[in-house]
Amino acid sequence: MQLAVNIAVLAAIYALISCGYVLIYRVSRVLSLAHGELMMLGAYGLAATASLFSGHPLVAIVASAALALMVGVLVYGVLMWRMTGESVLAAVLATIALGILLRGAMVLFFGTQTRYPLQELGWTNASIAVGDTARISAAGLALVLVTAAVYGGLFLFLRMSRWGIRMRAAGQNPLLAAQRGISLHGVYALAWGLATFTGGMAGMLITCDAGIESTLVTIGLKAFPAALVGGLDSLLGALVGSLVVAGAEVLLIHYVDPLLSDVVPFFVLLAMLVVRPWGLFGTREELDRV
Amino acid sequence: MKKTLFTLLLAAAWPAAAQDAYVVGVSAAMTGPGAGIYAPVVEAMKAYIEHINARGGVNGKPIRLVVQDDGAEPSKAAANAKKLLTQDKVVMLINTSLSSTYAPMVAESKQAGVPLYFGGSVCPKDTYPPADPLLFCSSAFGANLDSQGALGFVKSQAKEPVRIGFAAMAIPIARAEIDYAENLSKTMGMTPVEKQISPPPAPDYTPFATKLKDANPNWVFSWSPWVSQVRTFEAMRRLGWNGRYLTWAHLNAEDELARIKDGEFYVIGTNAFFQDDLPIHAEIRAVTHRANLKYPVTYLTEGFIAGMVIESTMKNTPWPPTPQKVLAAMNNLKVDMKGLRGGPLEWTKDNHFRTKQYYRVWRWDPARSAVVRVQDWQAIDVKR
């Protein structure tokens, strides 16, 4: 039972992070390699709002989530819109440069000390019993619930809302979508906003469990294989890919060797690339090799 | 032949490049992984040296620290060392970074014949007797000795047979130490039940903690970067484990004990805590305040110790300084730690680590709602 809980929490972490990779790629075919840094920025955002709205934790959380969304839109507005029409490689390189810039800026503004946003919110990370034999941390439970809510919300948004349908249309055929009057810049900005929002939420929740460390950026990259395994242009794929990678990781830690946990996501990814390069739920014809 | 020629050229160049200060070069992880541990050391070191310079320097000359960020990357550390040696003409190199940066800096130090001092980074075994002629270390950590001190404490506390678990981060130096501790525990009559090595970084430490907890240890020892030590412990507690956890006292240990507030979470270390309120602590507070450092004062002891070592070394280095004169001073050094450690730091020609390593152990006392000392200074002789 405990293993199932561990898999659920790790899969939720990977799924919440990889959803950002998928959203941006699906709509604009750009692979954002600054996702880990944007995730960390979200975590620092929570630490900042927690001290700004001291004693009002819910206000702090809502403010930091809104801030993450705005940062994503801003990244598109300031940097990525200039990449529209450029080669995919140029856009990917721009995200790498953005990542380096953000990493440096965060050290300058927030320093290198570990921070504990949960403590700053005035909450504790309680241990909750799951049945008779398993336990989950409050932050872990929040991660699972938020991930479920985010995926449920995105499913409804992309299927039912006008902007969601526009996003899907722009992702399928940008030229045709533009000719039909859809504002591509608006759609792309929204995709960046939503991706940074979900990444920021992941950063906030992970750091509620573990504190803000400089290594958070690397955790952002660790979710990348999950997105690729599922298929870079499929949200369902990101969810299933995260479950596959997390399951393999947790089971190998428990039954074989904990050292394998670092290589397992990439082993699963390699196996997938050999057998089905477009991922479990990805679209074959959408493959774009950089 | 090439190496000899290079060393000769470099030696010849030093007097020509006459400087107005003792120039010391630092390559440090000011950013990147581990910056949280290394950057405060460098900031404190700089503040201490500025404080010394404000009082007239040493031998009437100031000490100039040239700090280069290596981001904990070996290639950057190599480039930094080259730049510090060839452009800044430093008479001493300092490494305050991850162990992965050691090899390229050692290579540069050896090629130039300039002493390399590890201040705040884990002491390589090459500084233990018989020491490498060019490598020196004052950092609190001491491979193997730390495990001896830690397991000695566990044995002294245990009232029942010890079933011990081990946790470490998957970095070479931590894995080697935890392997050593595992073997040592057997010779001390303990039963090692499980060893968990987690990658740097892990998004969730619960899977590792689950296996460790399932082995049902009554003690766990962890020797790694703080993030790995404490996250494993916290995950084990949330899983319902009630045993005792002993871990290394990094810079942030005093503050972290107060944050975690767990009566069975112990830290072992070699630097006095600020709760002792020694006169040197007041000095550190004053210097920190003047330098307007952004780190908590409790993080700065290690950097001050490094500053004191640099000051003593340069005091014993006659003007004009050369790497050879600095080396001679370092080979016969005794620094009064003023209570920051259990005794003075002594380097000899054969021992570039210290002749005695002193350990204390602390924990959080829930009854007193304070950090308390569980074991006072215990000395271990550092021998060949």
CB B200 to CB A215 under 8 A?
yes
The answer to whether position A94 is within a domain reads yes
How many alpha carbons fall within 13 Å on the CB side of residue A122? 13
Taking CB atoms and an 8 Å cutoff, what residues of chain B touch A10? Answer: 203-204, 207
Q: What is the CATH code of the structural domain delimited by B145-274+359-381?
A: 3.40.50.2300
pTM, rounded to two decimals:
0.90
CB B201 to CB A103 under 8 A?
no
Architecture in CATH for domain B2-140+276-357: 3-Layer(aba) Sandwich (3.40)
Q: How far is B299 from chain A (nearest CA, A)?
A: 10
pLDDT value of position A107 = 87
Backbone angles phi, psi at A170, to 5 degrees: -65, -35
pLDDT value of position A88 = 84
pLDDT value of position A111 = 85
Nearest CA in chain A to B196: A258
Low-confidence ranges of chain B (pLDDT < 70): 1-19
Nearest CA in chain B to A143: B204
The tally of domains found in chain A comes to: 1
- Return d(Cα B189, Cα B178) in angstroms, integer: 17
How many alpha carbons fall within 13 Å on the CB side of residue B261? 7
| 3-state SS assignment for residue B247 | strand
Taking CB atoms and an 8 Å cutoff, what residues of chain A touch B167? Answer: none
- Return d(Cα B206, Cα A262) in angstroms, integer: 15
The answer to whether position A249 is within a domain reads no
Q: Best residue in A253, A256, A264, A266 to probe B by mutation, most B CBs within 10 Å?
A: A253
**Of A9, A214, A259, Cβ closest to residue B204:** A9
Taking CB atoms and an 8 Å cutoff, what residues of chain A touch B203? Answer: 10, 13-14, 206, 219, 222-223
CB A258 to CB B203 under 8 A?
no
CB A113 to CB B227 under 8 A?
no
**Of B35, B198, B211, Cβ closest to residue A107:** B35
Cβ neighbours for A284, distance < 8 A, ≥ 6 positions apart: A278
Nearest CA in chain B to A207: B203
Q: How far is B249 from chain A (nearest CA, A)?
A: 15
CB B259 to CB A9 under 8 A?
no
pLDDT value of position B32 = 82
pLDDT value of position B16 = 40
A152 close to B (CB below 8 A): no
pLDDT value of position B143 = 87
Q: Is the peptide bond before B320 cis (omega within 30 degrees of 0)?
A: yes
Looking up tokens 């702090």, which residue turns up?
A60
Q: How far is A137 from chain B (nearest CA, A)?
A: 7
Q: Is the peptide bond before B192 cis (omega within 30 degrees of 0)?
A: no
Q: Best residue in B42, B195, B198, B204 to probe A by mutation, most A CBs within 10 Å?
A: B204
pLDDT tens for B128-169 read: 999 999 999 999 988 899 999 999 999 999 889 999 999 999
Domain residues of chain B, as ranges?
2-140+276-357, 145-274+359-381
CB B240 to CB A14 under 8 A?
no
A259-270: burial string, b at 16+ Cβ within 10 Å, e else? bbbbebbeebbe
For residue A5, CA distances in Å to A226, B11, B106, B226 come to: 18, 63, 46, 25
**Of A116, A127, A218, Cβ closest to residue B238:** A127
A276 close to B (CB below 8 A): no
CB A140 to CB B252 under 8 A?
no
The answer to whether position A233 is within a domain reads no
Taking CB atoms and an 8 Å cutoff, what residues of chain A touch B204? Answer: 6, 9-10, 13, 140, 209-210
Nearest CA in chain A to B30: A112
Vertex A200: Cα angle to A25 and A238 (nearest 5)? 40
pLDDT value of position B357 = 95
CB B200 to CB A112 under 8 A?
no
pLDDT tens for A81-112 read: 998 878 888 999 999 999 999 998 998 888 88
- Return d(Cα B262, Cα A157) in angstroms, integer: 45
Q: Amino acid letter at A113?
A: Q
B229: closest CA among B247, B256, B203? B247
| 3-state SS assignment for residue B266 | strand
Mean pLDDT of chain A: 92
A179 close to B (CB below 8 A): no
Nearest CA in chain A to B299: A113
Tokens of B140: 């609190």
CB B238 to CB A113 under 8 A?
no
Taking CB atoms and an 8 Å cutoff, what residues of chain B touch A119? Answer: 259
Q: Counting one residue from A and one from B, how many pairs have CB atoms under 8 Å apart? A: 106
A216 close to B (CB below 8 A): yes
So what's the ipTM on this one? 0.90
**Of B40, B207, B239, Cβ closest to residue A10:** B207
Range of the domain at A174: 2-222
Low-confidence ranges of chain A (pLDDT < 50): 289-290
Q: Best residue in A9, A102, A208, A213 to probe B by mutation, most B CBs within 10 Å?
A: A213
**Of A103, A214, A258, Cβ closest to residue B36:** A214
**Of B33, B207, B231, Cβ closest to residue A6:** B207
Q: Is the peptide bond before B62 cis (omega within 30 degrees of 0)?
A: no
Topology match between the domains B2-140+276-357 and B145-274+359-381 = yes
A123 close to B (CB below 8 A): no
A172 close to B (CB below 8 A): no
Q: How far is A234 from chain B (nearest CA, A)?
A: 23
